[in-house]
Amino acid sequence: MVPTTRRPPGGHEAEDIASAKERGWRDLVPIDDAYQVGEITGTEWHAAVLNVIEPAYLNGGNPRAQSGHSGDETRWREARGLLVDLLPPHGGTFLDVGCANGHLMESLTDWAAEAGTVIEPYGVEISAALADLPRTRCPQWAHRIWTANAMGWKPPRRFDAVRTGLDYVPADLCGAYVAHLLNQVVAPSGRLIIGVYNEERDQNTVQDLLRSFGHRPAGFTTADHRHPEIQYKALWLTSS
Ligand SMILES: C[S@@+](CC[C@H](N)C(=O)[O-])C[C@H]1O[C@@H](n2cnc3c(N)ncnc32)[C@H](O)[C@@H]1O
């Protein structure tokens, strides 16, 4: 069985941790299961995941909810601000894979500037309906937003830093997805940032998975989560 970080090990406490790790995991586990036993194809997997998240994001009542985050501004920064630690010190171009409504593009640009780093944000989003949101919300960046499945996407340019989640493809395609982003999307000597993901403080499931594909993280950062056993985590891989 291909490792997936979605499934809780069992019991109520484990479910509590699982739901703290990933909002909506209950809806997504059956989709992973259907894919794993061959009931649905990869294309159907993407469509089923979008069926769950697209209406939820489109109906979100604030910019964070339209990016899949349920907290207020303070929690948003706690949950995403750590990404600043992983940006190249000289800044440069930053591609948010799965940019949703573009709120992370906006926030990270501001937070990086506070830390003295200038980034130029870009986004790619698999959902055409969601990709229209940043084009409207941030018209100055409209030409920098693409609608595409990042798996297999050949961008018109490469980026100094590219951020993604590993759950943007079915689990058995994860290694190929990371290789594709490193080889086709990240600039030479650029950074592939994985995260933010929520993981038990004392576990390294994501790092172990990446090592099993032959990737050793070049840098790592964490921040406290409101659940004491969980941490927000992110890491980066180098393209060379
Ligand atoms: C949780 S939101 C992330 C929003 C924001 N980037 C952040 O990190 O807070 C994940 C987004 O990734 C998009 N997505 C998922 N799989 C994708 C893929 N293979 N290619 C492009 N976008 C994808 C989803 O449609 C969704 O809008």
Chain centroid to CA 110: how far?
19
Q: How confident is the model at residue 42 (pLDDT cuts 50, 70, 90)?
A: very high
Backbone φ/ψ region at 100: left (φ over 0), alpha (ψ -120 to 50), beta? left
108 touches ligand 1 (CB under 6 Å):
no
Domain interval for residue 63: 12-238
Query: If we measure between CA atoms, which residue out of 14, 52, 17 comes closest to residue 167?
Result: 52
Q: How far, in Å, is the centroid of ligand 1 from the Cα of 166?
A: 10
Q: How far, in Å, is the centroid of ligand 1 from the Cα of 190?
A: 21
Question: pLDDT (tens digit, 9 = 90+) per residue, 117-163?
Answer: 999 999 999 999 999 999 999 999 999 999 999 999 999 999 999 99
Q: Is the dihedral of CA 190, 166, 46, 52 positive or negative?
A: negative
Q: How confident is the model at residue 9 (pLDDT cuts 50, 70, 90)?
A: very low
pLDDT at 12 over 60: no
The reply to whether 2 falls in a domain is no
Strand order in the sheet with 92-97: 145-147, 119-125, 92-97, 159-164, 186-200, 230-238, 219-224
Total number of domains constituting the chain: 1
The reply to whether 95 falls in a domain is yes
Burial class of residue 229 (count of CB atoms within 10 Å of its CB; 0-12, 13-18, 19+):
middle
| Nearest atom, ligand 1, residue 130 CA | 27
Confidence at residue 79, expressed as pLDDT on a 0 to 100 scale: 97
Rounded to whole angstroms, the Cα distance separating 141 from 122 reads 7
Q: How far, in Å, is the centroid of ligand 1 from the Cα of 204?
A: 22
The reply to whether 5 falls in a domain is no
Question: pLDDT (tens digit, 9 = 90+) per residue, 166-199?
Answer: 999 999 999 999 999 999 999 999 999 999 999 9
The reply to whether 68 falls in a domain is yes
CATH of the domain at 211: 3.40.50.150
Helix (H, G, I), strand (E, B) or coil at 122: strand
Q: What Cα–Cα distance (Å) separates residue 167 from each residue in 49, 91, 97, 194?
A: 10, 26, 12, 10
| Nearest atom, ligand 1, residue 151 CA | 19
206 touches ligand 1 (CB under 6 Å):
no
Q: 2-11, 38-47, 97-106, 152-161 — which is least confidently predicted?
A: 2-11
- Give pTM, 2 decimals: 0.94
Question: pLDDT (tens digit, 9 = 90+) per residue, 195-234?
Answer: 999 999 999 999 999 999 999 999 999 999 999 999 999 9
